[in-house]
Amino acid sequence: MQLKRRKWDNLQTVALVSSYVPRRCGIATFCRDLAEALGAYTKEVRTTAVALNDRPEGYRYPDRVWFEINEKRHAEYRLAADFLNMSAVDVVCLQHEFGIFGGEDGGYVLDLIKRLRMPVVATLHTVLKDPLDGQRAVMQQMAELCDRFIVMAERAKDFLHDIYHIPESKVTLIPHGIPDVPFADPNYHKDQFGVEGKKTIMTFGLIGPSKGLENMIEAMPQIVKKHPDAVYMIVGATHPGVIAHQGEEYRLGLQRRTRELGVEQNVRWINKFLDLEELVEYLGAADVYVTPYLNEAQITSGTLAYAMGTGKATVSTPYWHAQELLADGRGVLTGFRDTNALAAAITDLFDHDVKRHAMRKAAYTYTRSMVWRDVAGQYMELFKTVREERNQNPRPASLVRQLSSTRSELPEIKLDHVTRLTDSCGIFQRAKSTIPVRAGGYTTDDNARALIASLIAQDHVDYQTNVDLETLVGVYLAFLEHAFDDEAGRFRHKLGYDHVWDPAVDSEEAHARAVWALGEAVARCQTRGPMTLAANLFNRALPACEELQHARSCAYALIGIHAYLRRFSGDSHARRVREHMAHWLFDRIQQHAAPDWPWYTDRLTYGCSRVPHALLLSGRWMFNNEMIQVALRSLEWLHGVQSGDNDHFTPIGNNGWFPRDGQKARFDQQPIEANAMIDACLEAYRVTADGKWVDRAHRCLNWFLGANDLHQPLYDHSTGGCAEALMAHGVSENQSAEPTLAWLLSLLALYDHHLDESSPAVSEKKAAPPASPQRTAPEPAAK
């Protein structure tokens, strides 16, 4: 039975970057509401937050907040980016308003976005019609760095296109979210606030001079004259920024004015920061909602959206967002600072109940698509889209210098991380960042790789270094000896940290890799003891190789057999096994290959280059030119499939692989692919003497160093470790055994190649096949 694919498979964690409650800020409230809505929309995706602090001590945030940034400290933006990258966040959603970020024109945010490896979606709470030069520059740089902008009004889309020259395709309109509340009679809530029997007018939100409340207070005498039972409820605390600069002077001045106008009893002050439940109840008690803002430059108003969502008849000045939301009879617009018009509009609504209720219903009906549940769904769909787009079209980091094809410019061989991952038992399979994960235990294939790397390194690492390669060889060889099950004639694969083998884990490939490593040990060991143990174990494991069922496993074993035969070329049994396996592998390709798909299956997965590598070795040693030509043809095709548009190596990603007549997966690219291609290319060079294969091998090595789809290095010069994968949003943080050994084996292969090239005697010894007992004819040249 095929498992049903989850809708959000490519999303696991979303991080919101914003101010956050309990900080008193409209954007903080918006972000909290959005986070809660996303969390309620699906439990499959975790929603977290990075909070911006406007004071050094910060706030007591809820558990959803993972990280805090002091908005005035430039370095903390970079640290936040590093934290998000390390936390494997899939998408970042940034809430943007110039005033909540540090730096000139809020420019510190650019350093945060530049360092992020995952897609970034920015919700714009402010879009300026007449930006300063610095503000325009920040917005345009954000457009280059972000995958999408979200705006909450059509006017904002127009501004971004006409003023900032941002393509419409980069901008998505998603309305401001609102709570989903029933359409209720205001009289139901009035008794809670002592206004039963009153005609209630309301404004809510953080109080400050830009809100224009003085104009509404100036209008109150005219309203009270016609409707003495009218009450204006001003709900909300004074904005913290206003308090910081002038204390409560603005509010106190308004209160003095109510006394001067004789409407003190008709104005109620609720000086508190409300939670959502309280706010909805206060809004429920309002007959008319009013936003008397002082100018048009407000592209988004959350208070207006909330009021309409609770079914309020609304009177407002014509700022940009109000013009959109209150169109088509959903509200009344009056001029800026026009107290007479404000009074007339509100009085008219109190005079005509039918008109007021029709307006309430129109507003409520219009905003049904704005409830947080639906808004969260739109956000989540957009997050999924940008994630998929990034997978298909990754964003490169800064370009890096590529290596030339000379030994003098190869990186230094650094074994620090290999030794860090190794204990007295073997090499640990996994690492969390650079720290070994003991719970992951050990595997036979990783210890086989480590044995080969240690053996080759002996030819290239100065014995005066603090790395005891002979001891490492002994550790890994002892692990393989312990892994062999004499009764089954096969190698066990997974050993726990408790030194207990996992009987449920059996791997044909692990057996073949162990045979490969043992063959190399026989060929390369300098002392008799380890070589004898390796040869004995190799011969005990060899019979099972004839029973291998998979081409890749067969290739691994063949490479090991050829290594063994470099020392014991007269071993007739090993030669017979080699011949049998080589022809079986050759026949698999011949039977299935087509001119446009010269391969043995209808799907390319991992380690494909090992098959032509093994056939090249076999054809060269067995004097079979047809086998060589088939191997070269398949390797040429594999190289073409894995060559990027910019002439860099682009291995097949394991996030979907490459089915015949399908699309090649671009990510997640694995280090073992580059390693396999390097070995195969160098063997192709030994067969053909065509220098293009050496160039291609160096190109694959450069993939580790940053010459890849993202221009990001996987190899870490500081640790000697290698990242597990190149993903759409960047490189993984963990430096486990397999990728680290893939890097090391790749580098050592090129060191070996340049050593061969500089030493004809060594080259002849390593490259030429031994003479056959039956024939001494020279090896046929590849055409």
Instruction: Give me the DSSP letters along 413-436.
Output: P--HHHHHHB-SS-BBS-EETTEE
- Angle formed by the axes of helices 737-758 and 671-688, to 10°? 20
- Average pLDDT of span 686-698: 95
Range scoring the smallest mean pLDDT among 439-448, 682-691, 706-715:
706-715
- Average pLDDT of span 691-712: 93
So what's the pLDDT on residue 8?
63
> Longest C-alpha distance within the chain, in Å?
120
Taking the alpha carbons of 486, 488, 494, 496 in that order, is the dihedral positive or negative?
negative
In tens, the pLDDT along 377-397 reads 999 999 999 998 887 777 665
So what's the pLDDT on residue 526?
85
User: What is the distance between the alpha carbons of residues 738 and 450, in angstroms, rounded to a whole number?
Assistant: 9
CA-closest candidate to residue 736, choices 665, 675, 669, 671: 671
In tens, the pLDDT along 517-567 reads 999 999 999 889 999 999 999 999 999 999 999 999 999 999 999 999 999
Interior/surface letters 652-689, b for 16+ CB within 10 angstroms, e for the rest:
bbbeeebeeeeeebbbbbbbbbbbbbbbbbbbbbbbbe
So what's the pLDDT on residue 408?
52
Report the mean per-residue pLDDT for the chain: 90
* Residue 19 near residue 26, CB atoms below 8 Å: no
pLDDT higher than 80, residue 649:
yes
Interior/surface letters 625-636, b for 16+ CB within 10 angstroms, e for the rest:
eebbebbbebbb
User: What is the distance between the alpha carbons of residues 614 and 634, in angstroms, rounded to a whole number?
Assistant: 12
Choose between 9 and 766: higher pLDDT: 9
pLDDT range class, residue 463, cuts 50, 70, 90: low
So what's the pLDDT on residue 557?
97
Q: Tokens standing for 69?
A: 């940034």
pLDDT higher than 50, residue 502:
yes
User: What is the distance between the alpha carbons of residues 446 and 738, in angstroms, rounded to a whole number?
Assistant: 6
pLDDT higher than 50, residue 764:
no
pLDDT higher than 50, residue 761:
no
* Residue 411 near residue 718, CB atoms below 8 Å: no
CA-closest candidate to residue 712, choices 694, 733, 697: 733
Q: Tokens standing for 320?
A: 């940009």
Q: State which amino acid sits at residue 20.
A: Y
So what's the pLDDT on residue 246?
86
pLDDT higher than 90, residue 745:
yes
CA-closest candidate to residue 136, choices 90, 105, 91: 105
pLDDT range class, residue 756, cuts 50, 70, 90: confident
In tens, the pLDDT along 278-334 reads 888 889 999 999 999 999 999 999 999 999 999 999 999 999 999 999 999 999 999
User: What is the distance between the alpha carbons of residues 22 and 272, in angstroms, rounded to a whole number?
Assistant: 13
pLDDT range class, residue 406, cuts 50, 70, 90: low
pLDDT higher than 80, residue 774:
no
SS3 548: coil
- Angle formed by the axes of helices 133-145 and 108-115, to 10°? 10
Question: Is the backbone of residue 88 left (phi > 0), alpha (psi -120 to 50) or beta?
Answer: left
- Average pLDDT of span 668-696: 96
- In degrees and rounded to multiples of 5, residue 445 shows phi and psi of -70, -35
So what's the pLDDT on residue 465?
63
Helix (H) or strand (E) holding 78, with range, is helix 74-86
Percent of the chain with pLDDT over 70: 93
- Average pLDDT of span 681-686: 96
In tens, the pLDDT along 557-603 reads 999 999 999 999 999 999 999 999 999 999 999 999 999 999 999 99
The pTM of this model reads 0.69
Percent of the chain with pLDDT over 90: 78
- Average pLDDT of span 691-718: 93
Beta strands 313-316 and 288-291 are parallel
User: What is the distance between the alpha carbons of residues 678 and 705, in angstroms, rounded to a whole number?
Assistant: 14
Helix (H) or strand (E) holding 544, with range, is helix 528-545
pLDDT range class, residue 505, cuts 50, 70, 90: confident
In tens, the pLDDT along 129-175 reads 999 999 999 999 999 999 999 999 999 999 999 999 999 999 999 99
Task: For residue 412, give Cα distances in angstroms to 434, 715, 742, 768.
Answer: 19, 12, 15, 28
pLDDT higher than 60, residue 6:
no
Upper half-sphere CA count for residue 608 (Cβ side, 13 Å): 27
Count helices and strands in the chain by DSSP H and E runs = 28, 23
Interior/surface letters 84-100, b for 16+ CB within 10 angstroms, e for the rest:
bbeebbbbbbbbbbbeb
Q: Tokens standing for 276?
A: 């959502």
pLDDT range class, residue 773, cuts 50, 70, 90: very low
User: What is the distance between the alpha carbons of residues 65 and 48, in angstroms, rounded to a whole number?
Assistant: 6
* Residue 482 near residue 416, CB atoms below 8 Å: no
So what's the pLDDT on residue 544?
95
Upper half-sphere CA count for residue 520 (Cβ side, 13 Å): 23
Neighbouring C-beta atoms of residue 150, cutoff 10 Å: 23
- Average pLDDT of span 357-373: 96
Q: Quick one: DSSP state of residue 209?
A: G
User: What is the distance between the alpha carbons of residues 475 and 482, in angstroms, rounded to a whole number?
Assistant: 11
So what's the pLDDT on residue 210?
86
* Residue 617 near residue 683, CB atoms below 8 Å: yes
CB-based contacts of 690: which residues, under 8 Å, 6+ apart? 684
Helix (H) or strand (E) holding 14, with range, is strand 13-18
In tens, the pLDDT along 265-289 reads 999 999 988 887 888 888 999 999 9
